[in-house]
Amino acid sequence: FFFGFGQRSKIIIDNMPDIAAASSIRGDHSPASIPMKGKCDVCTKPDQFQGHCLLKCKQCGVLVHELCYGLNPKGKHDPDFICLACKCIGTKIEVNTPSIIGGCGEDMGKTREFMTQMERPKECVLCNHHEGFHAMHPLYDSHGPEGRHYVLPQTGDLAHRKEKRLAWVHTLCASFLGDYFQTRGCVCGCDIY
């Protein structure tokens, strides 16, 4: 799997000014400069840690640093921030049919269908923690222009059935698997066999 935190992002961290120190020197005590309570869901560090602002999703309340979530740092709080998982609710998403990890096969990307994400995703395909709201990213079946959101097949019997659904991963789980700046915040599945 690849995740969108690459060397380009690390350079931004090294060159970013200490915003907390700059605002205290200027005497800036506006609501945007007051540290937000809570910790990042990805790195577990507080607001203004090494000058990075926390963003709070206005729908689910998940807290993330811009850089931890794969966003370009703006250095200020965004009261209108909506995480990727909440942003997709009610959205029609184009998927490949069939949806194959690694994007292999002659039929890959030739036919497509639309699926709608009906509720905020909580299920991570990389771990077994599916409770509460956490920072999440979509899992794509392949990189490049043919890659689309990966579709998990229907599983289980009548009593424990899970319908066909879009695949998501916790940002934290994906960040442990490696980084690749060209994915720009998307996680791409790959066939390891």
pLDDT tens by residue, 44-81: 999 989 888 999 999 999 999 998 998 888 888 999 99
How far, in Å, CA of 193 to CA of 35, rounded? 47
Average pLDDT of the chain, as a whole number: 74
Helix (H, G, I), strand (E, B) or coil at 190: coil
Residue 103 banded pLDDT, cuts 50, 70, 90 = low
The residue type at 23: S
- Is the model's pLDDT at 132 over the cut of 60? yes
Token digits for 167? 């695949």
Q: Could you tell me which of 96, 189, 178, 186 has the C-alpha nearest to residue 142?
A: 189
User: Percent of the chain scored above 70 by pLDDT?
Assistant: 67
Which residues is 80 bridged to in the sheet? Answer: none
Interval 101-130 mean pLDDT: 79
Q: Which residue has the tokens 């729908």?
A: 59
> For residue 189, what pLDDT is reported?
54
How far, in Å, CA of 92 to CA of 184, rounded? 21
Residue 34 Cα distances to 39, 56, 159, angstroms = 14, 14, 50
> For residue 187, what pLDDT is reported?
57
Interval 81-92 mean pLDDT: 94
Token digits for 132? 């509460």
Interval 151-168 mean pLDDT: 82
- Is the model's pLDDT at 83 over the cut of 50? yes
Contacts of 180 (CB under 8 A, 6+ apart): 2, 3, 4, 6
Interval 155-166 mean pLDDT: 80
How far, in Å, CA of 47 to CA of 36, rounded? 6
**How many CB atoms lie under 10 A from the CB of residue 21?**
11
